[in-house]
Amino acid sequence: MAIIRILIAGLAFASLSACGAAYISSDIANFRGDDSVQVVDLSTAVVAQANRSAYQPEALPAAFSRIAGAGSRLRGGARLPEPVFDPQTRPGALELRVPPAVDPGSYVIGVGDVLILATPRWESSVEEMAGLVAAQNQRQGYTVQDNGDIAIPDIGRINVGNMTLSEAEDAVFERLIAARIDPTFSLEVAEFNSQRISIGGAVREPGVVPIGMLPVYLNEVLAQAGGVDVGSDAFSVIRIYRDGTLYQIPTADLYADQNLQRIRLVNGDSIFVDTAYDFEQAQAYFEETIQRAQFTQNARANAIAALQAEVSIRRNALEESRQNFRDRVEFGAAGGDFVYIAGEVTRPGRFELPFGNTATLADALFDAGGWSEATGDPSQIYLMRGASAGEQLSAITAYRLDGSNALNLTLATRMELRPGDVIFVAEQPVTRWNRVIDQITPTIFNLGAAAVN
């Protein structure tokens, strides 16, 4: 009976072979010695020689390397005319005109102010707000931007413009709660830049005095400017320009009356110590200065708006160009340099070579999921490459990588790919036998059943 079974199996295999149905596997090793195929084992020297073949990766279009602001330039407004009003003659009798008392209330946060968010360093909120506290640890605050926002990492933008410090703390508190962050903090104004008083004229150090949380008085501003620098108090006057109205205090009256020294100043006040202007000329001078400043500011704002519009148009054009290229690549109208992967790999197919860079054997092999652990033979990994330009079209080089030695995988990370390369992983001998058995087993059973009947 055993002899009969062997004969049946042999007849079945012969029958399969005769009709061409027997399993036949791909094998590159059988081509060793063939003049048209050169099988070369990969080594460091072989990799270096193979990589010397001429190849220039396809470059991305220039739109992917350009920026929208390239070549843009901020253009200012027209040149301002020369000032008209200059010091003329010393005034005669000086009239005392005192500005009314004011109470601006609590300090209002404005553009340019620098806020510091202080948190306890020993509590867990510091770790939860790592990006937010880093600046405070280094004494770096958050500057209020043109639209009144401050940008806090991990929290986002919070509008605090035209708010008191208490209102700003409430706004920050709500955002921290919304972000599920421990809201233990205190808000401080580190730099007062939004509210100012300007002082000029006959003072030793003209400039700008910022207004902070505390009230600012006339004698303090004069002291910060180095004091009045005039030859005679009888012919000097301190002029205060506020909300389109000009007030004046003769220097002699200022020193004689302490209440005049404690006049409270507010944001936007302009102080000018004059020794030659009369009232009308001083008022004209301030009005001209304000008009020139407003003209410059408006021209600057218009130039910024024009620049932003230009950059936006360029950005849209660049993005449209880039999207057109992506669509062409998607539909196969651009690019098209591929390497083909076959044999015992997890995902056979093709691997697209990147733009502007080279890829290696390891990149393509592991992009395909690597060789199959169940059926692939890691010692028989081949990279097949056709002839270069000028050589015979039939010449093929098969570079063999012995991946059974893990150290050889470093060669795969250095072996560069070229368009049209084919990567092939051979099957294990036992895999070949199993597939043959799987193919002939049904026929054996059929023949055996026929013999029994």
- What's the rounded Cα separation, in Å, for the pair 53 and 390? 13
- Which pair of structure tokens corresponds to residue 425? 């992983």
Estimate the crossing angle of helix 2-18 against helix 429-452, to 10 degrees. Answer: 110
Helix (H, G, I), strand (E, B) or coil at 377: strand
- Which pair of structure tokens corresponds to residue 218? 């006339």
pLDDT score for 134: 47
Q: What is the CATH number of domain 114-191?
A: 3.30.1950.10
Query: Do the domains 196-276 and 26-58+336-447 match in fold?
Result: yes
For residue range 13-36, what is the model confidence (pLDDT) as tens digits?
Answer: 444 444 444 455 556 655 555 567
Q: Which helix (H) or strand (E) covers residue 201, if one does?
A: strand 196-201
Contacts of 435 (CB under 8 A, 6+ apart): 23, 25, 427
- What's the rounded Cα separation, in Å, for the pair 417 and 428? 25
Q: Which fold has domain 26-58+336-447?
A: Outer membrane lipoprotein wza fold like (3.10.560)
Residue 216 has pLDDT above 60, yes or no: yes
Domain locations along the chain: 26-58+336-447, 114-191, 196-276
Q: Sheet harboring 237-242: ordered strands across?
A: 207-210, 196-201, 270-274, 237-242, 245-250
- Which pair of structure tokens corresponds to residue 230? 């005039």
pLDDT score for 122: 47
Contacts of 198 (CB under 8 A, 6+ apart): 207, 208, 209, 269, 270, 271
pLDDT score for 363: 92
pLDDT score for 348: 92
pLDDT score for 299: 82
The pLDDT-based confidence of 11 (bands split at 50, 70, 90) is very low
Look up the CATH architecture of domain 196-276: Roll (3.10)
Q: How many CB atoms lie within 10 A of CB 431?
A: 17
pLDDT score for 121: 57
